[in-house]
Structure 1
Amino acid sequence: MAQKKAGEVEAFLSRPDFSFPVILLYGPDPGLVSERSDKIAAQSGVDPDDPFAAVRLSADDLEKDVGRLYDEARTMSLFGGKRLIRVRGAGAGKALAEAVATLAEEKLEGAVLIVEAGDLKKSAALRTSVERSRFAMALPCYQDEGRALDQMIDEEFTASGLTIDRSARDELRSRLGANRLASRGEIRKLCLYALGATGVVEEDVRAVVGDVSADTLEETIDATASGEVRRLPHLVDRLVTAGTATFQLHQALLRYFQQLQAMREMVERGGEPIGRVVERRRPHFRRRHAMEVALAAWPLERIGATLRRIEADILASRKESSLALTITRRTLLDVAVEAARLKARRS
């Protein structure tokens, strides 16, 4: 079968074998998948800025009109040479999987087809169609761990002519890894900050590199529970772009409403003021106002119903992993809309 193990992918990337003209990259880190796709594209011999030779397609669009993929893959370049077709956002789409399987058996002579997908199960149609095809290659891409993350740090620091001491490296590694592209961007930002110095120390890392995913996750949960509907899509997009898994959003929302339930019981059944209840939790000063707004808006019975809704959506997202992001977005938006309605009733 035409596939590589995770540890073999870097070797393939150093010298891509285009006798496999159809290449599938998949994994939970969209940044890592995209970065590796860029490396293969750069060695394909096709100018990515040439509109006659290179084309980018969306998997969602191809599910509606898969014929376009056949047309692009089988069309000869206007001025000779190979054509480069890149498909992004692939998942459980049946039409795309079937098209890729057909094209992989043809051994495309005039084109290279690169397909970028999310974390595909072993039984996923797209993955199995590539792994079983004669002229296609499947490349699993997993999140940065240990050696791979250190390698990326070394690459950027060497290019910048900087050194980094052990404690600073440990601190930097603890703040990276959620998304390959986001991690590399943070390292480059740190190198730019230290430009002119001989090396980077721990204080530099703490001053420049922030744990953006954690901060945005808390901000997203606060916006959801307090009914900030308009801010929500942007916050969710930031998390998705940073590589935050959907289950982290669901779990964070579940924990928040469990906490909110206990706090609301103190208000309704214990007669305690909202401000005092919130103070006992000692939230970060940036989260305090949102927590007070949520605690004032949500009655106990609605919190219970929302907890049951969140649990049901978590189960649904696990059963239908290809729809996990859609389900999570819907959960957050519906809860935020409900919070906004509850606030409006109190005002």
Structure 2
Amino acid sequence: MAQKKAGEVEAFLARPDFAYSLVLVYGPDVGLVAERSAKLAATFGVDPADPFAAVTLAADEIEKDIGRLYDEAKTLSLLGGRRLVRVRGAGAGRALSDAVGDLGGERLPETLILVEAGDLKKSAGLRLNAERGRHAMALPCYQDEGRALDQMIDEELTAAGLSMDREAREALKARLGADRIASRGEVKKLCLYALGAPTVTEEDVAAIVGDVSADALEEAIDAAAAGEVKRLPHLIDRLATAGTPTFQLHQNLLRYFQQLEALREGVERRGEPVARAVERRRPHFRRRPALEAALSAWTLAAIDRRLQAIEADILASRKEAGLALTITHRTLMETAVEAARLRARGRG
């Protein structure tokens, strides 16, 4: 079986073995998955922006035409040399899982197939097939904790020629969240701010680094409304660990659906395209895909039912303060399950 434990992944990335022609990179931290996949691609020596040597495929699209993956995997680079095939957004698709089983059993000496997926259970077909493939490797990616977070900070400090005292490091780690790309971006910004100084201080951290973990609230609301059921428990745990008040979650979810209702009225009653309605709302670019997915899935009738359920849960959590966290967790999960059902119905 070809797989690495979470703590072994960085060592593999430092000296990757490209005898494995197919690599599955998976985990709940989308930013960490993307960063590690990009690191492998760079080490392989193929520019992802080169249309003659690299191609990026969406998992939901190739699920409808799996032959495309086989074609791309076995096509030689037009100008010679190595070829990179990158698949993003993989999950429970049966066709992709079977293809990973097939392609992971072959040695493709000039080709690297990178499959990026969310969190996968041990029993997930995609993960099992990657782990069993003779020429496939499975790399689990989990949120920055302990040594992994310190290593990322050290990498950026070294690159900038800076040092950091213990108090500043602890203050920095407290402000970083679970998204690897966002966290690294904050550390890079800090290093740029402190460039030329003998060391990075706690005052520097307070002056320049935003609270990345605060973004988890918006992430949780977006995930619930867009039907990202598998990703949501991780986000809820982050919020609970950070001590986010349950009423804040409920109120933000209620406000989101009130705004969604106003946007949906334009779609259903005035025939406004979803993309135009979202553009008019001007969301942050990171939140736009989730808003488009939610607006496409939720009907006015469904939004009205959900608003009533949220209001009932808010009242229940106030009456039973000891059960507030449990009630809030249920509200978010029920919202996500309903969104997923509505999205599936829309695709059917």
Q: Does TM, normalized by the shorter one, top 0.5? A: yes
Residue of structure 1 in register with 2:96 after alignment: 96
Q: Which amino acid aligns with 1:225?
A: L
CA distance in 2 between counterparts of 1:327 and 1:236 reads 22
CA distance in 1 between counterparts of 2:311 and 2:164 reads 42
What is the count of residue pairs matched by the alignment?
272
SS at match of 2:105: helix
Cα 1:216–1:152 shift into 2, 3 Å: closer
Residue of structure 2 in register with 1:208 after alignment: 208
Residue of structure 2 in register with 1:60 after alignment: 60
Residue of structure 1 in register with 2:129 after alignment: 129
| 8 Å Cα contact 1:213-1:239 kept in structure 2 | no
Cα 1:238–1:205 shift into 2, 3 Å: farther
Residue of structure 1 in register with 2:246 after alignment: none
Shift of the alpha carbon at 1:195? 2.3
Shift of the alpha carbon at 1:264? 8.6
SS at match of 1:163: coil
| 8 Å Cα contact 2:177-2:212 kept in structure 1 | no
SS at match of 2:44: coil
Residue of structure 2 in register with 1:285 after alignment: none
CA distance in 2 between counterparts of 1:56 and 1:325 reads 31
| 8 Å Cα contact 1:24-1:115 kept in structure 2 | yes
Pairing 1:314–2:333 present: yes
Computed over aligned residues only, the root mean square deviation of the Cα atoms, in angstroms, reads: 3.5
Residue of structure 2 in register with 1:112 after alignment: 112
Q: Which amino acid aligns with 1:311?
A: R
Cα 1:210–1:159 shift into 2, 3 Å: same
CA distance in 1 between counterparts of 2:9 and 2:161 reads 28
Residue of structure 2 in register with 1:175 after alignment: 175
Pairing 1:44–2:44 present: yes
SS at match of 2:89: strand
Residue of structure 2 in register with 1:228 after alignment: 259
Shift of the alpha carbon at 1:215? 5.5
Shift of the alpha carbon at 1:235? 6.5
| 8 Å Cα contact 1:56-1:87 kept in structure 2 | yes
Q: How does 1:175-194 map to 2 (within 5 A)?
A: 175-194=175-194
| 8 Å Cα contact 1:104-1:136 kept in structure 2 | yes
Q: What whole-Å deviation, never above 9, does each CA across 1:7-31 have from its counterpart, x for those lacking one?
A: 2211111111111101111111111
Cα 1:261–1:44 shift into 2, 3 Å: same
Residue of structure 1 in register with 2:196 after alignment: 196
Cα 1:25–1:194 shift into 2, 3 Å: same
Q: How does 1:268-283 map to 2 (within 5 A)?
A: none
| 8 Å Cα contact 2:24-2:116 kept in structure 1 | yes
TM value normalised by structure 2: 0.69
Q: Which amino acid aligns with 1:48?
A: P
Shift of the alpha carbon at 1:218? 6.6
Say which one has the larger Rg.
1
CA distance in 2 between counterparts of 1:161 and 1:329 reads 52
Shift of the alpha carbon at 1:189? 0.9
Q: How does 1:139-150 map to 2 (within 5 A)?
A: 139-150=139-150
Shift of the alpha carbon at 1:212? 3.6
| 8 Å Cα contact 2:313-2:331 kept in structure 1 | no
Shift of the alpha carbon at 1:99? 1.1
| 8 Å Cα contact 1:217-1:239 kept in structure 2 | no
Which structure 2 residue ranges, 5 or more long, are not aligned? Answer: 222-248, 264-277, 291-306, 320-325, 344-348
Residue of structure 2 in register with 1:261 after alignment: 315
| 8 Å Cα contact 2:57-2:88 kept in structure 1 | yes
Shift of the alpha carbon at 1:216? 6.5
SS at match of 1:86: strand
Q: What whole-Å deviation, never above 9, does each CA across 1:15-67 have from its counterpart, x for those lacking one?
A: 11111101111111111111111111111122323211111111111112111
| 8 Å Cα contact 1:313-1:327 kept in structure 2 | no
CA distance in 2 between counterparts of 1:328 and 1:196 reads 54
CA distance in 1 between counterparts of 2:335 and 2:217 reads 21
Deviates more, 1:116-125 or 1:172-181: 172-181
Shift of the alpha carbon at 1:325? 10
Cα 1:326–1:14 shift into 2, 3 Å: farther
SS at match of 1:119: coil
SS at match of 2:2: coil
Q: Which amino acid aligns with 1:261?
A: L
| 8 Å Cα contact 2:176-2:212 kept in structure 1 | no
